[in-house]
Structure 1
């Protein structure tokens, strides 16, 4: 297999996932800032959507989208389960992963793309600068929504680390670096974030 990596929170989700499972896959670094992902051969031979990450399988086929890649790796390397070992556990992880993605990660990312990231993204996708402030506010609303449910548990989906935690951490950590810091008033999310930040997977050598 071969993993196409780059800067940004999406590839980081997969690198966190692999680190937690102690999976090592040869990597190719794609120059996102230089637009390598938006031109051949990458957007022809690897991902026609021109996005990272991507995982090339042993048969030459390619998987894209972080959830699909992580679910594939979970099935190939089931030790240290991060999605679940039963139908109920997997459904619960997918539910919480979807919630944090829609309520927090997606608006946070587009808020960045349409504001601080506009010089990079305005020639690559439709950008709506007038929507940036509102999208950032939506992301904050999502964090406010998440804060009470996790008051009495260590991780987002329950008592064990899951894909939901890795997705949210990668995006909140990214947000903190691009003008969308975590409000300390969200005390439960703040405690969770600090625990995640201290994990070895978040601090590779």
Structure 2
């Protein structure tokens, strides 16, 4: 198998998952800035055009970060980043949905429709007038997640999970593009510092991200 990947927070999330698992999976780069993922050859593999994808040896292609991570965890259960029993897996999926539905999807679209508009406006429908509201809604989700982190190390208590990776890669990216998080949210700030200190955080960054000026 190989991971079709590029610069960006979603590919980084899967790279970070792979690093935390200690797996060795070949990477094949897709030119995000050149819109290679919107061309026919790539869309035959993933009609939605998103990056990353996991291409299996039998030709099957799996897209969407959560599905890719679930598949890899099925193949390599330890260390468990989704869960080692029914409750842990359900708790992780619940909190991953909270992360996505309350924060990350709003913040990603706020970027696409705002600071990233020039990159995305010719690729799919953008709604620039919605950017400010989406950013505010996403930050409301960050407030909720700050409250959830009270008294615990990670989103699912003392377990590092894909919920943390999804939230971290989004916030680290958005902060590098101008997002400001209320400094009064001390739980999120402390959690970000813990995530930044993990070796997988630096190992998962794209080569040349400093030149790009964004952390993906």
Tell me the TM-score normalised to structure 1 length.
0.97
**Cα distance, 1:181 vs structure 2:** 3.1
Contact kept in structure 1, 2:16 and 2:203, CA below 8 Å: no
**Corresponding residue of 1:131:** 130
* SS of equivalent to 2:165: helix
Q: Distance in 1 between matches of 2:108 and 2:76?
A: 29
Counterpart residue number, 2:103 = 104
Alignment partner, residue 31 of structure 1: 31
Identify unmatched segments of 5+ residues in structure 1: none
- In 2, Cα distance between equivalents of 1:127 and 1:47: 20
Q: What is the aligned partner in structure 1 of residue 21 from structure 2?
A: 21
Superposed displacement of residue 194, structure 1: 0.6
1:118 has 2:117 as partner: yes
Q: How many equivalent pairs are there?
A: 204
Deviations 1:106-149 (A, max 9, x none): 00000000011111111111111110000000111011111122
**8 Å CA contact 1:47, 1:64 repeated in 2:** yes
Partners of 1:202 and 1:52 in 2: CA distance: 19
- The offset of 1:91, in angstroms, is 0.3
Once the two structures are superposed, residues 55-87 of structure 1 have per-residue CA deviations (whole angstroms, 9 ceiling, x without a partner) of 011211000000000000000011100000111
Deviations 1:6-56 (A, max 9, x none): 111111110010000001111111010101000031112x21111100001
SS at match of 2:40: coil
Task: Give the secondary-structure state (helix, strand or coil) at the position aligned to 2:28.
Answer: strand
The equivalent of 1:179 in structure 2 is: 178
CA contact (8 A) 1:71 1:83 kept: yes
> Would you say 1:204 and 2:203 are equivalent positions?
yes
Q: SS of the counterpart of 1:100?
A: helix
Q: Is the 2:99–2:167 Cα contact (8 Å) retained in structure 1? A: yes
Structure 1 vs Structure 2 CA RMSD: 1.0
Correspondence 1:60 to 2:66: no
Contiguous gaps of at least 5 residues in structure 2: 205-216
Contact 2:55 2:61 in 1 (8 A): yes
Whole-angstrom distance in 2 between the partners of 1:161 and 1:144: 20
- The answer (yes or no) to whether the contact 1:52–1:64 under 8 Å persists in 2 is yes
Partner of 1:48: helix, strand, or coil? coil
Task: Considering Cα pairs closer than 8 Å and 6+ residues apart, tell me whether 1 or 2 has the greater RCO.
Answer: 2
Question: Which portions of structure 1, spanning 4 or more consecutive aligned residues, are displaced by more than 3 angstroms?
Answer: none
